[in-house]
Amino acid sequence: MPQASRKSEQKSHSEPEQEPEQEPEQEPEGDFAALIDFHPYRDRFEAYHRIPAEPRSRESILAELGAMAEEEDRMGNAGRVSGSIYHGGHDHYQFLTEAYGLFAHANVLQRDMYPSATKLEGEIVAMTASLLNGAAVAEHHPGEEVCGVVTFGGTESLINPMLVYRERGRVEKGIAAPEVIIPVTAHVALQKAAHMLDIEIIQAPVRDDWRADVDWMREHVTPNTIAIVGSAGNYPHGLIDPIEEISALALEHDLGFHVDGCMGGFILPWAERLGYPIPVFDFRLPGVTSISADTHKFGYALKGTSVLLYRNSTLRRYQYFSYPDWPGGIYMSPGLSGSRSGGVVAAAWAAMLSLGEQGYMEIAERIFETAATILTGIATIPELEVFGDPTFIIAFRGRGIDIYHVNDFLISKGWRLNALQLPPGLHFCVTRPNTADGVADAFLADLRDAVAYAKTPGLGPARSGALYGLGGSPEGNEALDLLFAAALDAMYDVVP
Ligand SMILES: *Cc1c(COP(=O)(O)O)cnc(C)c1O
């Protein structure tokens, strides 16, 4: 499997502690299967290897899907999941699904048939631009106006701007070997973008506060640098990079500056209004040239939409694709997608209107309070250490214990946190289901027990750390790539 992307694995300033020594497994598929059962329904439902000859009744199809959905929702409904389920209200989802259903079959590429898409997408972009202070652009860049696109998710909202900056560098500056500087904590979809677009990623370390080292970034700007990236907040630790400093650096060198607000774009603005000390990270800063914000995270929409904003329409045009000479007709599309369902667009628009500022604020307030409770609780546990100064994603690591042992225990109690590495850690991305009464206290109680468990003498290697032990060296990464390839293959197997 070609793997151009993991060549510059950089350790950040802190040494990983107690990474369990592990030999690469002989049979990677077997190892992965031991961690995740891809086929729990193998004995319960018929497996289809071909389209059934006779139609099956809608009723029985829906019953089967319903049984799976109900089981799979249990964990999210219990409020013990980090991230992933952002709203969690089934009445809300029901409403979004109704909106979705009206346009599920519509292809938004065909605007003559579906002018509603123009209204809905334009308004989603405008509402997001307003939330992220797009109007401020007129003050520092008169004549420019924020614009954007609706994408299929955060990943597309990161690939598109990389294409834009590559094309801008090529067309306006003659840059043939483009480089993008990103913090090591920036989202991995940027690595995917670089892999696809043949861009070189330069990974900046983080400072003692776990936020991007802007001095390091400044020292690594070259004539080939097309763009820099900062996160608000980043996925691993939820922290907001020094966006104002990076903005100044971008202006200094006329670089594209993408602020990855996929995670924070729809939650941090409410924190600011609630009086939390959130540094400015949006279009009020003159160096910011694009921002991504995921409607399908804290926008509380259905999965499959995100918003990507540019400071001006010249930038946006670099991501457009048109091809007038195709026998199939004149073709144009704004981003990576071809045909797209209007359903998710309608649902995103419906989510924004039905919540309103008031709805977003109320949920945000509870999220920040819950996160503060968790943060305060963790601070009283001497064996744990929080990464930086977080607001809604609380990331922590072990002091003298293996944090993956902590995770093993939490998993046994039904919690689903996200495992971090380089260095090892866990994060709890607080979402609306986690704000239910008693969840934070139950978590802290289990966390204390988990730490006690992690101190048990003679524990074997942590189950949830098994894969992480392999990474960090070329041979280890090669073994992991094989393992992942086998796992991805396995995801498309009908019951083996
Ligand atoms: C979720 C996320 C993304 C994009 O992820 P998708 O799964 O493609 O939506 C990008 N950046 C950050 C910081 C994120 O949290």
Residue-wise pLDDT tens digits, 134-167: 999 999 999 999 999 999 999 999 999 999 999 9
The tokens describing 388, both together, are 């930086």
Q: What is the DSSP string of 40-83?
A: TTTTTSPPPSS--SSPPPHHHHHHHHHHHHHHHHHHHHTT-BSS
pLDDT at 369: 98
Residues 233-285: tens digit of each pLDDT: 999 999 999 999 999 999 999 999 999 999 999 999 999 999 999 999 999 99
- For residues 367 and 389, give the distance between their C-alpha atoms in angstroms, rounded to a whole number: 16
Q: What is the pTM of this model?
A: 0.92
290-347 pLDDT tens trace: 999 999 999 999 999 999 999 999 999 999 999 999 999 999 999 999 999 999 999 9
Q: Residue 425's beta-bridge partner residues?
A: 420
Q: Which atom of ligand 1 is nearest to the CA of 261?
A: 13
**CA 306 to ligand 1: nearest atom:** 9
Instruction: Work out which ligand 1 atom sits closest to the CA atom of 234.
Output: 13
CA 250 to ligand 1 centroid distance, Å: 23
Residue 476 has pLDDT above 90, yes or no: no
Cα(455) to centroid of ligand 1, in Å? 34
Peptide bond into 20 cis (omega under 30): no
- Averaged pLDDT, 201-226: 98
Tell me if 230 sits within 8 A of 260, measured CB to CB: yes
Q: Quick count: other Cβ atoms within 10 Å of Cβ 210?
A: 23
Q: Is the CB of 187 under 6 A from ligand 1?
A: yes
Of the chain, the percentage scoring pLDDT greater than 70 comes to 93
Establish whether residue 260 lines the binding site of ligand 1, counting it when its CB lies within 6 angstroms of any ligand atom: yes
Greater pLDDT, 470 or 453: 453
- The Cα–Cα gap between 142 and 134 comes to 12
pLDDT in tens, 14-51: 333 444 444 443 444 445 555 678 899 999 999 999 99
Q: Which atom of ligand 1 is nearest to the CA of 156?
A: 8
Q: Helix, strand, or coil here: 249?
A: helix
Q: How confident is the model at residue 479 (pLDDT cuts 50, 70, 90)?
A: confident
Quick one: pLDDT at residue 23?
A: 42
The answer, yes or no, to whether any atom of ligand 1 lies below 6 A from the CB of 234, is yes
Torsion of CA 115, 116, 117, 121, to 10 degrees: 120
Residues 6+ apart with CB under 8 A from 102: 343, 346
What per-residue confidence (pLDDT) applies to 346? 98
For residue 283, what are the contacts with CB-CB under 8 A and spacing of at least 6?
129, 132, 133, 134, 135, 136, 137, 146, 291, 309, 311
Check if 231 has its Cβ closer than 6 Å to any atom of ligand 1: yes
For the chain, which domains are there? 3-13+27-37+357-457 (3.90.1150.10), 116-352 (3.40.640.10)
Q: What are 190-201's pLDDT values in tens digits?
A: 999 999 999 999
